[in-house]
Amino acid sequence: MAKELLKIENLKVIYKTDMETVYAVNGIDLSINEQETLGLVGETGAGKTSTALAILRLLPDRTARVTDGKIYFQGQDVAEMDDTALREMRGGKISMIFQDPMTSLNPVITVGKQIAEALALHNHDNKTKEQIEERVEEILELVGIPGNRKNDYPHQFSGGMKQRVVIAIALSCNPQLLIADEPTTALDVTIQAQVLAMMNELKEKLKTSLLMITHDMGIIAQTCEKVGVMYAGEIIEYGSVEDLFEGKYHHPYTEGLFNSIPNIEEKRDRLEQIDGLMPDPTNLPKGCKFNPRCKKCMEICKEVDPPVYQDGEHKIRCHLFSNVNQ
């Protein structure tokens, strides 16, 4: 049995302003084992990034609040960590790749120095300056950039190369968990394929776990072992990729997502669309959050929170399956 690395229980995150309260994450549970990849998929505003930021305690303190739930990393409660432990964890044990490589690098510092910065901050084995320099070159080669380009500035790299640099920084301290927040959304499709293939390979080589946040079902299929489908701050379907792509039962939203993607392999005249929009997170509907858009909506869906149907690891949060024999 693989060891559990990260466990989230009933996490709730709100953003509070003077005017209103935004319910961003509404009670999610997930776990990531060592060397495993979990994908979180969902549309804008589903709460994917808020979840990731909560893991690293990077939510803005003035407005955001974790109102309930626990996050355990290697058995340790993240909320109870003191500043030293937190520093140790951020960038050392857990690192994050952000969506936009153009804005996550400092334009006036060479890429080599930006990688060295992370190494110097988490320098447990007292590496000398020369050793750090060596490691910088090593890590650049690892992501497919010639080591002698370490003295170049970010603007001298293309978008795909910049994202490789960001990945190099994230991997420089051999983290146990890598959180990738839409790592390829800003890239062209051939470059995206290169970066994804590289991430898959590095994950194997470095034995890192990965939390992959994306809105693209294709990327999920290509990289993940487990998947959580998020909608309005809830994980409405959770299971292995096989459950999600080949399973018998699905949440109507998951089905809708699949049907909205134009299929390359077959021709359909019309896409089956999901009507309507994501609910307003300041004013979520009663009962199932998806009920106003759901084609299979029943009376009970509008009133009662849906139960979780469970078949092995496959969980679906929907009333439709409450009568199915478990």
Partner 1 sequence: MANIPLIETVHLKKYFSTPAGPLHAVDDVNLKIYQGTTLGVVGESGCGKSTLGRVILRLIEATDGQVLFNGENVLEQSKHRIKELKKEMQIIFQDPYSSLDPRLSVSELIAEPLLVTKSIRGKEAINKRVSELMDTVGLAERLAVAYPHELDGGRRQRIGVARALAVNPKFIVCDEPVSALDVSIQAQILNLLMDLQKDMGLTYMFITHDLSVVKHISHEIAVMYLGQNVELASSDELFRNPLHPYTKALLASIPLPKLNKRMSQQEVIHGELTSPINPKPGCRFAARCPERTEACTKENIPLKEIAPGHFVSCVKYM
- Residue closer to partner 1, measured from CB, 1 or 264: 264
Residue burial 195-216, b: 16+ Cβ < 10 Å; e: rest: bbebbeebbeeeebbbbbbbbb
In the bound complex, what is the minimum distance in angstroms from residue 159's beta carbon to partner 1?
8
Which amino acid, one-letter code, is at 313? E
* Strands across the sheet containing 76-77: 21-33, 4-16, 64-73, 76-77
Q: Are 301 and 291 in contact (CB under 8 A)?
A: yes
In the bound complex, what is the minimum distance in angstroms from residue 102's beta carbon to partner 1?
12
Applying CB under 8 A, the site for partner 1 has a residue count of 47
In the bound complex, what is the minimum distance in angstroms from residue 43's beta carbon to partner 1?
4
In the bound complex, what is the minimum distance in angstroms from residue 247's beta carbon to partner 1?
11
d(C-alpha 167, C-alpha 200), whole Å: 12
In the bound complex, what is the minimum distance in angstroms from residue 208's beta carbon to partner 1?
17
Instruction: For the segment 39-68, give every residue that binds partner 1 (CB under 8 A).
Output: 43-44
- Residue closer to partner 1, measured from CB, 74 or 194: 194
Q: What is the largest CA-CA distance in the chain?
A: 68
Q: Between 274 and 293, how does the x/- string for binding to partner 1 read (CB under 8 A)?
A: xx-x----------------
Burial tier of 194 (Cβ tally within 10 Å: 0-12, 13-18, 19+) = middle
Structure tokens at 275: 């009507």
- Residue closer to partner 1, measured from CB, 67 or 194: 194
- Residue closer to partner 1, measured from CB, 30 or 244: 244
Phi then psi for 122, rounded to 5 degrees? -115, 50
Q: Between 165 and 204, how does the x/- string for binding to partner 1 read (CB under 8 A)?
A: -----------------------xxxxxxx-xxx-xx---
Give the β-pairing of 226-231 and 37-41: parallel
- For residue 287, give the 3-state DSSP assignment: coil
CA distances from 321 to 76, 301, 316 (A): 35, 12, 8
- Residue closer to partner 1, measured from CB, 88 or 152: 152
In the bound complex, what is the minimum distance in angstroms from residue 198's beta carbon to partner 1?
7
Phi then psi for 210, rounded to 5 degrees? -135, 135
Q: Between 125 and 164, how does the x/- string for binding to partner 1 read (CB under 8 A)?
A: ---------------------------------x-xx---
Q: Which residues make Cβ contacts (< 8 Å) with residue 138, sequence separation at least 6?
A: 147
- Residue closer to partner 1, measured from CB, 20 or 134: 20
In the bound complex, what is the minimum distance in angstroms from residue 275's beta carbon to partner 1?
7
Q: Between 246 and 275, how does the x/- string for binding to partner 1 read (CB under 8 A)?
A: x---------xxxxxxxxx--xx-xxxxxx
Q: Which residues make Cβ contacts (< 8 Å) with residue 23, sequence separation at least 6?
A: 12, 14, 233, 281, 282, 284
In the bound complex, what is the minimum distance in angstroms from residue 311's beta carbon to partner 1?
18
In the bound complex, what is the minimum distance in angstroms from residue 194's beta carbon to partner 1?
5
* Cβ-based neighbour number of residue 268 at 10 Å: 9
Q: Between 197 and 226, how does the x/- string for binding to partner 1 read (CB under 8 A)?
A: xx-xx-------------xxxxxxxx----
Point out which residues bind partner 1 (CB under 8 A).
43-44, 158, 160-161, 188-194, 196-198, 200-201, 215-222, 241-242, 245-246, 256-264, 267-268, 270-275, 277
